[in-house]
């Protein structure tokens, strides 16, 4: 009895090991929760304890199709809950990754059964004798490594750049989970009934008809899992296209805002020029008797033209100069130390959108502050140790909630304002960078890192 119990426990552990291999692959780009490793190790211990307990249920109910389905669905649910604990993501995103991982695990297992059943039909394993179990596991895990690598390069690798927090296509997600559920049910049913038809050992049949039916079931399961993975690919592809459309809409919205800012800047310059012409006329009327205070007033009027920013990147110079003039008009202190030459790897459109959104978000925050000494924005762009560091700091009033590592907008217009931070994250990830955001003592800190070696 203890030996049988040990076999069931081994089955549970093998299933979880394979599942977690693909969990690790599909969740590589997700935002980790605080104390990630503590959550990961503690949750894994809990899942393993549940698996040990489920081995007793497997022994008593695993001989029926419904019992086996219930056991594996429970383990999948427990492992998915563990993922949700470890990552700062929405539940649909975690479920999406878990479903893709389960499909990949089942695909590898069923591919192996296709090969194994073919070998049994040809009697390849009859000479293994006393070392049958050793050779079986060597063959199984060698095949699993090769199959997992193939599934990774064919399906999962393409998902890694896109699997992150965002809006999922819930219809496609529902279809993927439904297809996966049907596949799991069929797999459990056929495993139960074909084990009763086996002779000598599982998946060895005397009648050719049983072998054909078994292989047909295996191939159908392989097809079902492949369809699930293709559906996940289709889901992220459609989401990416939707994001591109939103990006274009956001660009139009930004252009409208940029026009308003430029118009205000031009109005400011016109006012200053009018002041200068008026004061020059007054000074000319006074002849040579120019009062020192009048000269100082004139110098103050034309000091706005000292706001020009020079970083070594022409596009960034124009953007930062315009933002500086806007800050001058609105009583905001804008401090900038930027090595623009290090930004040559960014496309012009991405550079403008990245820094435009960073500064505009900071402006939105500091404009709402009444105290003049806190209406401050600091921007730093510098190279350090083979990395390009972009830091933006600004004060803010109120509270800042975070989801998926990004601050949640408090604006009523969720569509446009929420997309600003997401577009920053999208551009950063496009160039292989990392983004972090946090608040500390009433200051919002945004940090971006790019590798200069790539």
Write down the domain spans for the chain.
2-240, 308-454
pLDDT the model gives residue 417: 47
pLDDT the model gives residue 228: 75
pLDDT the model gives residue 243: 66
DSSP structure class, residue 454: -
pLDDT the model gives residue 280: 63
Q: How far apart are CA 425 and CA 408, in angstroms?
A: 13
Tokens linked to 440 = 């500390």
Please name the helix (run of DSSP H) or strand (run of DSSP E) that holds residue 306, with its range, or none: none
Residue 265, Cα to own-chain centre: how many angstroms? 38
Q: How confident is the model at residue 166 (pLDDT cuts 50, 70, 90)?
A: very low
Tokens linked to 14 = 């093998």
Helix (H, G, I), strand (E, B) or coil at 90: coil
Residue with tokens 């009895």: 1
Q: How confident is the model at residue 378 (pLDDT cuts 50, 70, 90)?
A: very high
Q: How confident is the model at residue 296 (pLDDT cuts 50, 70, 90)?
A: low
Tokens linked to 212 = 């054909």
Over the Cα atoms of the chain, what is R_g? Answer: 31
Q: How far is CA 438 from CA 348, 380, 430, 441, in A?
A: 28, 16, 22, 10
Q: How far apart are CA 225 and CA 197, in angstroms?
A: 25
241-290: pLDDT as tens digits = 676 666 656 665 665 565 566 556 656 666 766 677 666 666 666 665 55
Q: Kindly report which listed range (37-46, 77-86, 163-172) carries the lowest average pLDDT score.
A: 163-172
CATH topology for the 308-454 domain: Heat Shock Protein 90 (3.30.565)
pLDDT the model gives residue 454: 54
Among 154, 280, 162, 285, CA closest to 229: 154
Is residue 418 predicted with pLDDT exceeding 60?
Answer: no
pLDDT the model gives residue 100: 83
Q: How confident is the model at residue 149 (pLDDT cuts 50, 70, 90)?
A: very high
pTM for the full predicted model:
0.55
Tokens linked to 250 = 């956001």
Task: Please state, rounded to an integer, the average pLDDT across all residues of the chain.
Answer: 78
Buried residues in 120-156 as b, exposed as e (16+ CB within 10 A): bbeeebeeeeeeeeeeeeebeeebbeebbeebbeebb
Q: How confident is the model at residue 416 (pLDDT cuts 50, 70, 90)?
A: very low
83 Rama class: left (phi>0) / alpha (psi -120 to 50) / beta: alpha
pLDDT the model gives residue 441: 84
70-117: pLDDT as tens digits = 788 888 889 999 999 999 888 887 888 888 888 888 889 889 988 888
Among 243, 183, 251, 265, CA closest to 219: 183
């Amino acid at each position: 009895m203890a030996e049988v119990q040990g076999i069931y426990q081994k089955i549970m552990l093998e299933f979880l090991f394979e599942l977690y291999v693909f969990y690790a692959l599909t969740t590589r780009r997700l935002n980790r929760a605080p104390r990630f490793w503590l959550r990961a190790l503690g949750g894994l211990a809990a899942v393993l304890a549940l698996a040990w307990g489920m081995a007793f249920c497997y022994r008593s109910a695993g001989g029926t199709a419904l019992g086996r389905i219930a056991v594996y669905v429970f383990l999948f649910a427990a492992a998915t809950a563990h993922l949700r604990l470890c990552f700062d993501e929405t539940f649909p995103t975690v479920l999406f990754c878990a479903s893709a991982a389960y499909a990949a695990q089942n695909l590898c297992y069923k591919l192996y059964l296709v090969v194994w059943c073919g070998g049994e039909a040809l009697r390849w394993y009859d000479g293994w004798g006393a070392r049958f179990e050793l050779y079986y596991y060597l063959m199984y895990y060698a095949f699993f490594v090769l199959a997992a690598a193939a599934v990774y390069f064919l399906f999962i690798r393409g998902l890694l750049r896109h699997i992150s927090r965002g809006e999922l296509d819930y219809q496609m997600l529902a279809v993927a989970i439904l297809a996966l559920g049907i596949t799991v049910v069929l797999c459990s049913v056929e495993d139960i009934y074909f084990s009763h038809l086996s002779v000598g050992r599982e998946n060895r049949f005397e009648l050719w008809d049983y072998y054909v039916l078994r292989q047909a079931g295996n191939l159908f399961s392989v097809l079902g899992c492949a369809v699930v993975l293709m559906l996940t690919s289709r889901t992220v592809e459609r989401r990416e296209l939707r994001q591109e459309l939103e990006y274009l809409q956001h660009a139009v919205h930004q252009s409208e805002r940029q026009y308003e800012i430029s118009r205000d800047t031009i109005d400011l310059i016109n006012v200053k020029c009018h002041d200068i012409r008026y004061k020059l006329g007054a000074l000319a009327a006074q002849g040579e008797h120019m009062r020192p205070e009048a000269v100082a007033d004139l110098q103050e009027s034309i000091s706005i033209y000292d706001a020009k920013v020079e970083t070594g990147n022409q596009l960034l110079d124009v953007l930062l100069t315009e933002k500086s003039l806007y800050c001058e008009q609105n009583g905001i202190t804008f401090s900038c130390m930027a090595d623009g030459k290090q930004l040559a790897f960014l496309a012009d459109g991405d550079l403008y959108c990245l820094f435009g959104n960073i500064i505009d978000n900071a402006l939105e925050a500091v404009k709402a502050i009444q105290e003049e000494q806190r209406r401050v924005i600091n921007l730093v762009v510098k190279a350090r140790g083979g990395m390009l560091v972009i830091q933006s700091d600004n004060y803010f009033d109120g509270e800042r909630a975070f989801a998926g590592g990004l601050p949640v907008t408090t604006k009523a217009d969720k569509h446009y304002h929420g997309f600003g931070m997401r577009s920053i994250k999208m551009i950063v990830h496009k160039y292989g960078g990392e983004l972090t955001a946090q608040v500390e003592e009433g200051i919002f800190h945004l940090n971006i890192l790019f590798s200069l070696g790539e």
